[in-house]
Amino acid sequence: MKESFENLRAWRILEAIDRKKSITKASIEQDISLSNASKLIGKLEKGLGCSVINRTARPVQLTDYAKKLMPAVRDLLLMSSHLESVATAVAEEQDTETIIFSLSTTSVSAHVLNFIKEFKDNNPGVEVELRTGLNHLAIKEGKADVVLVSYLPEEKDLTKLPCGRCFNFMVASPKYLEEKGTPHSIEELLSHRLILRRKDFYPECKMLFNDKLCFDLESYELFELNEEGSRKIIKKFEETKLSNFKKLYSSDYSSYVAALNGEGISIDLPVSFLEERLKNGSLVPVLPGWHRSPWNKYLVFSSGAGPNSSIRKFAEWYKEKELKDSVKRWTTCFSLYGIPIEK
């Protein structure tokens, strides 16, 4: 009896005979010769000690004994099919290489998700798992394979691929400007709350630029840089008289939410954060022409990743994609709002 339950193919043939009412048709469906199908049924009957087919009936019929077994047989075959599917999926999963890609920020722009999807579509054997809020040290700690950062790590055992610069301009919500007024000069800007992102995520904003004009957010000096790089002071504002001026530091996503909620004027949100909000009017440009300096971005991964490794392949692919796409993103956005930018 035990042997009869070990040959699933015989049970599949028997179930097919029950549906097709023909041994010939059942053998064709199961892709087996008629003689081999008959041999398997014969072995099954020997193991069970009972006949399962009434061979004299036309069309072919199962015996009463076999008919009573059919519900359980179909459950067995269904479970077997499910098991095969799970086993195949697990095997494919084991064959898939996973790259852990992290942003040093705690938020994700839509284009990052689009890039990852495109890479995965073109590399079916590689899975990319996205994380946020990890810096380059996560590579050494085994928490990430590739990290996108806004600073240049000093470690010599890490490969750093430059992948463009991050551009920005000042924005605020219409609600905030309606309540506090729209600044038209640096002097008027100093009566507002400025929202800046914490330096643990990005290079800290210490200066605003507008062509040759500069404003120092620490010394409160408005000046012009001459060719030698020295300052020609235009005006120095006394900090003690700036009673309404405040600098609010926050994480990247929190500063974005703060700007939307009308808590101040955001200084350093990148263009990728702003596109949709500018289109729907929930954020508007402030003091066009004035901006903080763009910062460089780097893709960082272990120098031990070989030339043919998936990690290096992903990093180099992402770099080229980002270099091409980022220029399009910020130039389109700046030209749309008539905002000049240093290139």
Task: Identify the CA nearest to 108 among candidates 314, 305, 272, 325.
Answer: 272
* Residues 81, 25 within the same domain: yes
Q: Measuring CA to CA, which residue among 124, 164, 158, 165 is closest to residue 144?
A: 158
CA distance 311 to 301: 8
| Backbone phi and psi for residue 132, each to the nearest 5 degrees, phi listed first | -135, 160
Would 117 be classed as within a structural domain?
yes
Residue 114 domain-assigned? yes
In the listed set 248, 271, 293, which residue is the last one of a domain according to the structure?
Answer: 293
pLDDT for 78? 83
- The answer to whether 1 and 49 have CB atoms below 8 angstroms apart is yes
Sheet of 126-132, strands arranged across: 126-132, 97-103, 146-149, 295-302, 158-166
Tell me: do 100 and 119 sit in the same domain.
yes
CATH number at 153 reads 3.40.190.10
Are 254 and 309 contained in the same domain?
Answer: no
Question: Quick one: tokens of 229?
Answer: 């790089």
Last residue of a domain, one of 43, 72, 94: 94
**Domain of 24: which CATH number?**
1.10.10.10
The number of distinct structural domains making up the chain is: 3
Q: Specify whether 153 is located in the same domain as 185.
A: no
Q: Render pLDDT for 190-246 as a digit per residue (tens, 0 to 9).
A: 999 999 877 665 677 889 988 889 999 999 999 998 877 788 999 999 887 888 899
Say which amino acid occupies 118.
E
116 and 193 part of one domain:
no
Q: Which domain holds residue 39?
A: 2-94
Residue 132 — pLDDT band, cuts 50, 70, 90?
confident
- CA 176/CA 289 separation, integer angstroms: 20
> Which uninterrupted H or E stretch holds 36?
helix 34-48
Q: Position of tokens 């700036």?
A: 242
Is the same domain home to 180 and 271? yes
Amino acid at 180: K
208 domain-assigned: yes
Distance, CA of 26 to CA of 332 (rounded, Å): 64
Dihedral sign for Cα 126, 129, 130, 133, please: negative
Structural domain includes residue 135 = yes
Whether residue 316 lies inside any domain: the answer is: yes
Residues 6+ apart with CB under 8 A from 303: 156, 157, 158, 159
Q: Is the pLDDT of residue 4 over 50?
A: no
Retrieve residue 251's tokens.
Answer: 């994480």
Last residue of a domain, one of 253, 278, 293: 293
Total-model pTM:
0.62
Query: pLDDT value at position 93?
Result: 59
